[in-house]
Amino acid sequence: MELSERKQKILKAIVDLYVRTAEPVGSKTIAQLPDMDFSSATIRNEMAELTNLGFLEQPHTSAGRIPSPAGYRFYIDRLMQDYRLSVDETQSINQAMELRMQEFDRAMSRVSKLVSQLTNLPAYTMTAPAQGVTVRRFEILPADKGSFILVVMASDETVKNKLIKLPLNVQEADLKLLTAVLNASLTDLSVEGFTGETIERVMRSAGPAAGLVPIIVDFTTHMLDSCRRSEVYVTGQNRLLGQPEYQDLSKAQEILGVLDEDTISNLPAKLDPNSPVQILVGPENVAQELKNTSVVVTRFDIGDGMQGMIGVVGPQRMDYAQITARLSYFAEGLGKMFGKNELPEANKEE
């Protein structure tokens, strides 16, 4: 349904005032607004018509009106203006969006420490890197005057955002054009797809906002790179020194020197992706320095097609059954925690 410009202006004023005050709005209140150049009587007549049309409701016998569901829908579809976030709001939102990942990082680190304590061996947790991650969508949200928020969504559900300063010559219409160009040219691309030729084509199409393209491309490619890297948490390396096999200081130093994130992150290349629990004994390990050790590793689902791993490194002389059982329980628990927000059922005493 179409409304006259005057009716739209009055309806918008009523919605804005009611949202702010939670009090029915009268014609005199609207007439006092600085941008309202209609008489109180004219406003009252228009409010009566808006009520008859179903856009306003009269909650009681007072002269005040409130928006009806139809009034809110018309406001949302036709009258609502973009809200500009303040810098404080953007910072709060950024912190909230990062909280889930911080919780995940803390959980992985705690699990690594607890596994190390329970097995008295060095332990690690890691996330398997996502494969074939591409850009799903770009969004540009107005922030304070002179800045905007870039939001990049990836195919693995990763979402990253960045507050970017606007050049003086770039207007809001230029940002809308830039958003359209980015989504038309750079979505469904992996990091390898961001070639010089592609970037130049985007810059030629971006108009006055072309200078922002290198900043956006740099942020996006770093994000895609981070999606492909494993996050590794290694703890308890010094526990090897308590094992008889490593009382020889030179042997201990040899293995401790390679028992780090880089060595552990190469483990997935040696693992069978279809096996939930695997044991690499001696020469089966990726590093020559681990040839006299064993690695036990289990997998768990994080969600969105991603997997994590929990494992221990120790002498070939270890209680494989006990360690495998403990790691499997941890894996089951983490999979349920991150996938279903629940924990596995505890074993009952017999």
Helix (H, G, I), strand (E, B) or coil at 223: helix
Q: What local confidence, expressed as pLDDT, does residue 221 receive?
A: 92
Q: What local confidence, expressed as pLDDT, does residue 97 receive?
A: 47
88 or 123, higher pLDDT: 123
Which of 196-200, 239-243, 300-304 has the highest mean predicted lDDT (pLDDT)?
Answer: 196-200
Chain centre to alpha carbon of residue 131: 17
Residue 57 CB neighbour total at 10 angstroms = 15
Lowest mean pLDDT among 79-83, 174-178, 243-247: 79-83
- Token pair of 175 as six digits: 């940002």
Q: What local confidence, expressed as pLDDT, does residue 349 receive?
A: 46
Question: What residue spans in the chain does CATH classification 3.30.390 cover?
Answer: 131-227
Q: Which residues contact 236 (CB under 8 A, 6 or more apart)?
A: 112, 113, 116, 117, 121, 122, 123
- What percentage of the chain carries pLDDT values higher than 70? 83
CATH topology of domain 131-227: Enolase-like; domain 1 (3.30.390)
> Looking at the predicted structure, is the pLDDT value of residue 286 above 70?
no
Q: Please name which of 107, 78, 113, 112 lies closest in space to residue 5, comparing C-alpha atoms.
A: 78
CA–CA dist 237, 116 (Å, integer): 9
CATH topology of domain 5-79: Arc Repressor Mutant, subunit A (1.10.10)
Tens of pLDDT along 30-72? 999 988 888 999 999 999 999 999 999 988 766 689 999 888 8
Tens of pLDDT along 205-248? 998 899 999 999 999 998 888 776 667 888 888 888 888 888 88
- What percentage of the chain carries pLDDT values higher than 90? 25
Q: What local confidence, expressed as pLDDT, does residue 131 receive?
A: 64
Lowest mean pLDDT among 72-86, 139-153, 164-178, 264-278: 264-278
Which of 135-149, 207-221, 279-293 has the highest mean predicted lDDT (pLDDT)?
Answer: 207-221
Question: What residue spans in the chain does CATH classification 3.30.450.40 cover?
Answer: 99-128+230-340
- Angstrom CA distances, 268 to 127, 272, 297, stand at 10, 8, 10
β pairing state of 147-154 and 306-315: unpaired
Q: Which residues contact 156 (CB under 8 A, 6 or more apart)?
A: 130, 133, 227, 304, 305, 306
Q: Which residues contact 271 (CB under 8 A, 6 or more apart)?
A: 278, 280, 297
Task: Provide the pLDDT confidence category of residue 102 given band limits of 50, 70 and 90.
Answer: low
Domain 99-128+230-340, CATH class in plain words = alpha beta
Q: Are 313 and 327 in contact (CB under 8 A)?
A: no
Question: What residue spans in the chain does CATH classification 1.10.10.10 cover?
Answer: 5-79
Count of residues for the chain?
350
DSSP state, 122? -
β pairing state of 232-235 and 123-127: antiparallel
- Average per-residue pLDDT in the chain? 81
